[in-house]
Amino acid sequence: LVDSKIIADEKINKNLNIVRPTSFKEFIGQEQIKSSLKIAIDASKYRKEALEHTLLYGQPGLGKTTLALLISYEMNSKCRVASAPSIERPRDIVGLLLGLKEGEILFIDEIHRLNKLTEELLYSAMEDFRLDLTMGANRGARCRTINLPKFTLIGATTKLASISAPLRDRFGLCHKIEFYSNDELKQIIFNFSNLINLQLDSDACCSLAKISRGTPRIALRLLKRVRDYAQVMKKTNKISIEIIEKALDSQKIDNRGLDNVDRKFLSFLKLNNNNPIGLDSIAAGMGEESSMLEFVVEPYLIQIGFIMRTPRGRKLTSLGKKYISSNNEKY
C-alpha cells in the first residue's frame, strides 16, 4: 500500500525513479479524457460531493496510475493506492475502506484481479457507501452494517473484459486510454529530458518517439538508456541522433523499436512454416509468460502489421516475414 503523497510530493522521486506529471497541463495527449474528467471534477467540486467512481483501462504504461493521481490533486483530496493482488482477504479491503475519510480516493490497480469476496464487499460500498459484514459463524453469526464516508473508487485495468458486469456497472465514469501519437510522445520525451537535464533537439526527440510503441513508459525507458550511453561512452548530456542510434544498437533495438523478444516471437512464427499457432504454445516455446506476450509484445506487432490474430492462432503477415528474413541475421 502506497500513500499517493509519497509519489506526489516530488516531481522526480529519486528512490523510485518515477517521473509523473503533477497537473493535467503536464499530462500530454488524451485530450478528450482530460476534458471529460475536468467537467466531472468541477461539477463534483461545485456540488461539494465526492467524484463518481472512475474506471480507467488500456495497455500498460499509458498513464492510468498517473491520471488517477492527477484526479486526486485536482480534487484536492488524498489518494490511497493499492494493487488488487495485495488485497487478498476480506479484512484487507475492509481496513482500506474504513481508513478512508469523506471525499478521499481509493485507487485499485489491476482491479480485474480482485477476488470474488472482496468484489462483493465493494458492491454496497460503492453504491450505498455501506459495508455489510457477517461476524462470527454458525448460530452465533451476526450481520453488521457500517456506514462509510462518501469516497471515490478509481480502478485501473488492462483487461476490461475480465471485470464482472456488476462491478463494471458501478463505475459512473469509464475511460479507455489510447496509444499516443508520435507528436505527443515527442513532447513527453522533450519535457522529461528537460527534467533530467538532457539536451535533445527536435530530430532526436522525433527519432525516439518513433520507436516508443505509442507508450510513454517505453519512451521514458529508452530515453534513460540513451542517457546512460551518452554519459558513459561520450561523457555528454547532449543527445544527437548518432548517439541514439549507437545506444539503441547496443541494446539490440532496431529503428522500428523492435528488440530481441519481438524478433524471437516473429522467428518462432516463421519456424512454424507460417501456420497459425496458439499464444500458449508460442509462450512455452519462447520461455515467456503468455500474458506478457499478449499485452506487451503483440499489440505493437499487430499495430505495425507484422502479425495477425486468426481464430486458429497467430500468423506472420508478408510484411513481418520480410522483416524477420532480412533482420534476424543482423542481431
Q: Which residues are the active-site residues?
A: 64-65, 109, 158, 217
Among 55, 87, 205, 220, interactor with ligand ATP by CB under 6 A = 220
Residues in the chain: 331
Instruction: Decide: is 80 part of the binding site for ligand ATP (CB under 6 A).
Output: no
CA 86 → CA 64, 108, 113, 123, 267, distances in Å? 18, 10, 10, 19, 37
64 lies in the binding site for ligand ATP (CB under 6 A): yes
Query: Dihedral sign, CA of 319, 214, 193, 228?
Result: negative
Which of these segments, 18-26, 132-140, 232-240, 265-273, binds ligand ATP (CB under 6 A)? Answer: 18-26
Q: Tell me how far apart the alpha carbons of residues 186 and 204 are, in angstroms, rounded to a whole number.
A: 9
Find residue 133's DSSP bridge partners.
144
Minimum distance of ligand ATP from residue 18's CB (angstroms): 6
Tell which positions 137-196 bind ligand ATP, by CB under 6 A: 156, 158, 188
Q: Cell numbers of 90, please?
A: 476480506
Cβ proximity to ligand ATP: between 19 and 239 the closer is 19
Asked if residue 4 binds ligand ATP (CB under 6 A), the reply is no
Q: Are 216 and 180 in contact (CB under 8 A)?
A: yes
- Choices 14-22, 41-49, 113-121, 269-277 (CB under 6 A): range interacting with ligand ATP: 14-22
For residues 224 and 246, which CB has a smaller minimum distance to ligand ATP in the complex?
224
**# residues contacting ligand ATP (CB under 6 A):** 22
Q: Which is nearer to ligand ATP, 122 or 156 (CB)?
A: 156
Element housing 56 (H / E): strand 54-57
By CB under 6 A, tell whether 104 contacts ligand ATP: no
60 sits near ligand ATP (criterion: CB under 6 A): yes
Query: Is the distance from CB of 255 to CB of 211 less than 8 angstroms?
Result: yes
Kind and range of the H or E run holding 36: helix 31-46
Tell me the DSSP string of 90-134: HHHHHHHHHT--TT-EEEEETGGG--HHHHHHHHHHHHHSEEEEE
User: Which window, 15-23, 144-152, 256-264, 275-283, contacts ligand ATP (CB under 6 A)?
Assistant: 15-23
CB 46 within 8 A of CB 193: no
Of the residues 24, 28, 50, 307, which one makes contact with ligand ATP according to CB under 6 A: 28
Query: Which range touches ligand ATP (CB under 6 A), out of 91-99, 168-176, 214-222, 300-308?
Result: 214-222
By CB under 6 A, residue 253 contacts ligand ATP? no
Rounded Cα distance, 27 and 21, in Å: 6
For ligand ATP, the closer CB: 60 or 278 = 60
Question: Does residue number 66 form part of the binding site for ligand ATP (CB under 6 A)?
Answer: yes
Candidate list 4, 20, 170, 226; residue touching ligand ATP; CB under 6 A: 20
- What is each CA distance from 301 to 12, 50, 57, 272, in whole angstroms? 32, 41, 20, 17
Minimum CB distance to ligand ATP smaller for 159 or for 234 = 159
The reply on whether position 19 binds ligand ATP by CB under 6 A is yes
Q: Pick between residue 21 and residue 155 the one whose CB is nearest to ligand ATP.
A: 21
Number of other residues whose CB lies within 10 A of the CB of residue 34 = 17
The Cα–Cα gap between 294 and 298 comes to 5
**Contact set with ligand ATP (CB under 6 A):** 18-21, 27-30, 60-66, 109, 156, 158, 188, 216-217, 220
